[in-house]
């Protein structure tokens, strides 16, 4: 029997040989092996038959494309990407695990259970949006996975939230 549903959100096109896409695929595989119902939402995928071979995984999770073609995301496309996922019918008790800052912020505003996985400091316009949302106290239920100990010092997150 499957445990809780996990929706993993990643701003990637697959297949790809980037470390980011390999990490995402391995994380989804690991969650699926632990018997979570995993759905991966990405920008676009092509030829799912090659995915198992390219990533050396057992594809035990569903992959959903948000766009019909490969897209390089800018802020507008990141917002559209996020909103398209949030407007999909998803399990209300599900956990969202995201590498997307914009998605995580929007999901947090509408009170979804969301974990933002950060590997490095947020930069550019996303950083401005993040700190604006934080200052306005709009980020209430966001949890974090930090892959660098210094990130907690930068974002000043309570220990219970990371």
Q: Which CATH number fits domain 5-161: 2.20.130, 3.30.70, 3.40.225, 3.40.50?
A: 3.40.50
* pLDDT band for position 162 (cuts 50, 70, 90): low
64-111: per-residue pLDDT in tens?
888 887 777 788 888 888 899 988 877 777 888 988 888 888 888 888
Give the C-alpha separation, 93 to 114, whole Å. Answer: 11
Give the C-alpha separation, 67 to 90, whole Å. Answer: 18
**N- to C-terminal Cα separation, the chain:** 28
Q: Taken in order 59, 64, 65, 66, is the CA torsion positive or negative?
A: negative
Mean pLDDT score across all residues of the chain = 80
């Amino acid at each position: 029997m499957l445990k809780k549903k996990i929706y993993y959100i990643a701003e990637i096109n697959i297949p790809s040989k980037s470390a980011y896409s390999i990490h995402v695929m391995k994380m989804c595989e690991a969650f699926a092996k632990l018997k979570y119902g995993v759905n991966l939402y990405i920008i676009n995928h092509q030829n799912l038959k090659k995915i198992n071979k390219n990533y050396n995984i057992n594809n035990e999770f569903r992959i959903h494309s948000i766009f019909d073609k490969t897209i390089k995301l800018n802020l507008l496309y990141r917002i559209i990407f996020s909103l398209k996922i949030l407007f999909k019918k998803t399990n209300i008790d599900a956990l969202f695990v995201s590498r997307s800052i914009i998605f995580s912020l929007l999901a947090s505003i509408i009170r979804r259970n969301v974990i933002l996985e950060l590997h490095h400091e947020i930069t550019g316009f996303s950083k401005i949006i993040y700190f604006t949302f934080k200052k306005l106290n709009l980020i209430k239920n966001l949890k974090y996975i930090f892959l660098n100990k210094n990130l907690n010092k930068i974002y000043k997150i309570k220990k219970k939230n990371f």
